[in-house]
Each structure stands twice: as C-alpha cells, then as structure tokens.
Amino acid sequence: MLAEYLSGNIVGLDMFPEFVRELDKKALRRGLSERLKGVVGKMEELPFEKNSLDLIWSEGAIDNIGFEKGLSHWRAFLKEDGMIAVTCPSWLTSVHPEEAEKFWTDAGSKLDLIEDNIKIMQDCGYQFVVAFALTEDCWTKNYFEPREQAINELIEKYNNCNTVKEYAELNRCEAELYRKYKQHYGYVFYIGRNTDNSNLRGGLL
Ligand SMILES: C[S@@+](CC[C@H](N)C(=O)[O-])C[C@H]1O[C@@H](n2cnc3c(N)ncnc32)[C@H](O)[C@@H]1O
C-alpha cells in the first residue's frame, strides 16, 4: 500500500523468511518489485545504514521489542527531518481491566497511556507530530472478520484439525475481549520527526 502511495524505494523487514517471500511475490505481481523489496532481519538490529531513511513505518510490531527500545534504536537510521509512523497498542483510558491487561501481558506487550508514549517519543529525541487511535473498523471489518473467515476455510481444508480449531477459539476470545473493553485500549498511531529541535510540539487528535 505504501509503495502505491509513495514514489521512493521501500524495504519491508520481518524476521520470518516466509512473510518476506510473500511480500516479494506480491511486489512482483503488482509490478512494484523494482522499488519494493523484502529483507529478513530483526527490528532490534536493523540492517540499514545510519542516517539513511526518510521514513520508518511500522504497524503492530514495535511492542514486540518495546516502544522505547524500538524508537531509540530506529532514530539513528533516520535522516535529519526523517519521519516515523508507528502503531502501538495503548491504554485509551486510565481504567485498565485485569482481563485485558493479562491478555496483553501474556502476548508479551506492555501497554502505556497515549500521553506517556508521547513523552517517551519526545525523550527519545523526536518532535512529536500527532497521535490518533485507529477506528473500530480497523479491528473488526479489517481484521477479526477476515481472519475468522480465513480460519473457517482452514478448518474445512484440514478436516476439523484440533490445532486449527484451537486457533479459531483464540481468535474468537480476542475479538470478544475487544468487544468488551474497546473503550479502554486500542492501537494508536504515533507520528514523529527526527529533529534536534525537541522544543517543537505537535498535537493530539
Ligand atoms: C502483528 S504483525 C504486524 C505485521 C504488519 N506490520 C501488519 O500490520 O500487518 C507483527 C510482525 O512483526 C514481526 N516481528 C515480531 N518480532 C520481530 C522482530 N524482533 N524483528 C522483526 N520482525 C518481528 C512478526 O513476524 C510479524 O510479522
């Protein structure tokens, strides 16, 4: 999608070679393979040159290594005035239901409030530009519903295999958890600029 909106060269990084191969295949099919390439790598050890990137775009991944660790490691790879756009699951209110907190802790993610993450972003040396929560459709229409459909196809394909059925149950629990507590947590986009002028401030949508 980024390659369709932007004219520059894009490298997509993931630790799993199968995912990277899939990206390369899609790029080829859409005629984008000249300027969109996949690379297998770890986001905590980026295989890029320092000060070489105009933009780092990362959705739903930084919490695997921690918001602060990711932001501070990645900044060195951005050019001056380079931008970062990153989503991270965050608390939207000061109420943190135990069941939701346990789900995220078990998934290896620690959630913080939006204002705390903005402060982390600024402390890491970025000019904060904007933060906004993803809408409900991003979770339901664009994620839980297609995933449920894909899982149902797998259940049929693998003849009611128990592993797939357990995965289907996990998907349903995650969707139910979201339905119950969606006012308290969500994915939030944080956008910032790599600048020395950390006095500049952005806005909160
Ligand atoms: C929830 S998915 C999000 C994928 C994609 N950004 C999206 O929005 O659909 C998180 C991705 O991070 C990758 N990942 C997790 N830890 C990683 C690490 N340490 N280095 C590189 N990739 C990692 C996983 O393989 C997975 O593809």
User: What is the extent of the structural domain holding 103?
Assistant: 42-134+185-199
Check which CATH number belongs to the domain holding 117 and give it: 3.40.50.150
Domain assignment present for 168: no
State yes or no: pLDDT of 191 exceeds 90.
yes
Q: Hey, whose CA ends up nearest to atom 20 of ligand 1? A: 42
Domain assignment present for 178: no
Distance (Å, rounded) from C-alpha 84 to C-alpha 2?
Answer: 14
The pLDDT tens digits for 108-122 are 999 999 999 999 999
Our answer on whether the CB atom of 19 is closer than 6 Å to any ligand 1 atom is yes
Distance (Å, rounded) from C-alpha 152 to C-alpha 20?
Answer: 25
Our answer on whether the CB atom of 109 is closer than 6 Å to any ligand 1 atom is no
Domain assignment present for 142: no
Domain assignment present for 118: yes
Our answer on whether the CB atom of 8 is closer than 6 Å to any ligand 1 atom is no
Cβ(39)–Cβ(61) below 8 Å: no
Domain assignment present for 95: yes
Domain assignment present for 25: no
Domain assignment present for 91: yes
- Which residues on adjacent β-strands are paired with residue 131? 190, 204
Q: For the chain, how many structural domains are there in total?
A: 1
Lookup: tokens for 196: 């020395």
Q: How many angstroms does the Cα of residue 22 sit away from the middle of ligand 1? A: 14
The pLDDT tens digits for 52-74 are 999 999 999 999 999 999 999 99
Q: Is the pTM of this model over 0.85?
A: yes
Angle, CA 130 vertex, CA 76 and CA 37 arms, to 5°: 50
CA 19 to ligand 1: nearest atom: 27
Domain assignment present for 122: yes
What separation in angstroms does the CA of 128 have from each of 6, 148, 199? 22, 36, 10
Alpha carbon 123 to its chain centroid, in Å, reads: 21
Our answer on whether the CB atom of 48 is closer than 6 Å to any ligand 1 atom is no
Q: How many angstroms does the Cα of residue 17 sit away from the middle of ligand 1? A: 12
